Chains A and B, each alone.
Chain A
Amino acid sequence: MSVVFDSREQWLHGAWLTVQLTLYGCALALVLALVFGLVGTSRHMWLRALNRVYVEFFRGTATLVLLYWFFYALPLVGVQINSKLVCAVLALGLNVGAYGAEVVRGSVNSLPKAQVEAVIALNFTPYQRMRRVLLPQAFALMLPPFGNLVIELMKGSAIVYTIGLVDLTKVSKNVQGFSGETVAPFLAVLVFYFVIAQILQLLVRYAERRVDRMLGRRPSREPSLSAVAAGAPGVKAAS
């Protein structure tokens, strides 16, 4: 274990890069999820088609393939992305954003139809309808699956190792390379990721509790099939 302790600065740098990738990736994914998810609840067929194309395309490709494409193929057609970090954030954000868009669409669509009719009867504008009535409730439904997606994105960030970014995974490989030890670095890297995931989970739980309290709801304890399905990678949220 002393090899791990001796290289602690590298580990901390690697961990910081993993955290950065998670934060930037989540920010991009959240924006894409809201935009394309809400577009998917629209009455206009073309807007809904836009949602389908985005979701099917970016959910259908593997993140690693997407990353390779941005990094190796895109410069050849004339689009040079100079920063590896930007490539990685794009690949992660676009992919997770597609899952997120399904969560947003599913949550908004799952609200009772009568509510929409009621707000229309009250002469709310479409914006007010979303902002004041639908989104606050849908948001509570979105949080648990979003929490799963945040952790999926953090785990997904390990792929940046393949394009030479020095994240936690790369550090473990480097430490193995110069020390020749295998158990210590590869166990340590798993523990690092686990700790980051646990911290993220605590943050998500805290957010869930706040939102539930805001809406006067009580969180349920038992896992239900729909909750597991909604947050799963490759899973279509109930619509």
Chain B
Amino acid sequence: MQWNWNYTWDILPDLLDGLRTTVVATLLGYVIALLLGMVWTLLRRSPSRVFNGVVRWVTEFVRSTPLIPQLFFVYYVLPSWGLTIGPLTAGVITLGIHYSTYTAEVYRAGISDIPRGQWEACTALNLPRSRVWLDVVLPQAIRRVIPTLGNYLIAMFKDSPQLLVIQVTEMLLAAYKAGTESYRMLEPITLVGVLFIVVSVISSILVRRLERRYATN
């Protein structure tokens, strides 16, 4: 089969439409992941052992199961509990929750990298807990984890095609639809692959820049 440029130009608008959905889903999911991840991390520091253990196993469960069955769960099970949501919403929520368990681990590592002496200094200065967290620990921890968090944004972008299992028309499904209509699969899918590589390579260059900028020691 020969590559057909006319056809390639014809389907490009459809694919860019799909790309927009992909980007929207990724970014909204990322916001959920960043916030919810912090919630998990803080919950795990609670004094209750039982509660800690529960949070640990819940996040472990979500992290070690694949995204696609999780998408099924959110999309098909919630309606039977009286909560009907559209495919895109379900996709965003699932992507966000899934990756929040990763960002939680990143925050945790960032916090545990803070030298013990600083905690002791805070205690010695009798700083209130809110100030210890907001003024001492979190500003340093978050700064250190920014590049790693950036990498998770790229990872989420590359996982977002999986939303097609619940009929979210992101880039890959848009390409697949265009391909089945015209019985030509070569151009659309290759084009999606190229777009993915372009976006990922550019964003990993940006992340490397962040790494240099926020490099400690």
Contacts and interface: CB of A to CB of B under 8 A. Distances in A.
A193 interface: yes
Nearest to A227: B109
Contacts of B108: 223
Given A169-B68, A186-B77, A228-B105, A61 B189 contact: no
A228 B111 CA distance: 13
A76 B172 contact: no
A60 B80 contact: no
A220 to B, nearest CB: 11
B77 to A, nearest CB: 5
Give the interface size bracket for B toward A.
35 or more
B112 A77 contact: no
Contacts of B105: 223, 228
Interface residues of A, number: 53
Contacts of B68: 158-159, 161, 169
Contact of B193 (A65, A155, A168, A198): A65
A155 B108 CA distance: 23
A225 B66 contact: no
B159 A62 contact: yes
Q: Is the interface of A mostly helix, strand, loop or mixed?
A: helix
Interface string B33-69: 0000000000000000000000000000100111111
B145 A225 contact: yes
B76 to A, nearest CB: 4
A68 interface: yes
A235 B151 contact: yes
Interface of A: 56-57, 59-66, 68-69, 72-73, 76-77, 151, 154-159, 161-162, 168-169, 172-173, 176, 182-183, 186-187, 189-190, 193-194, 197-198, 201, 222-225, 227-229, 232-236
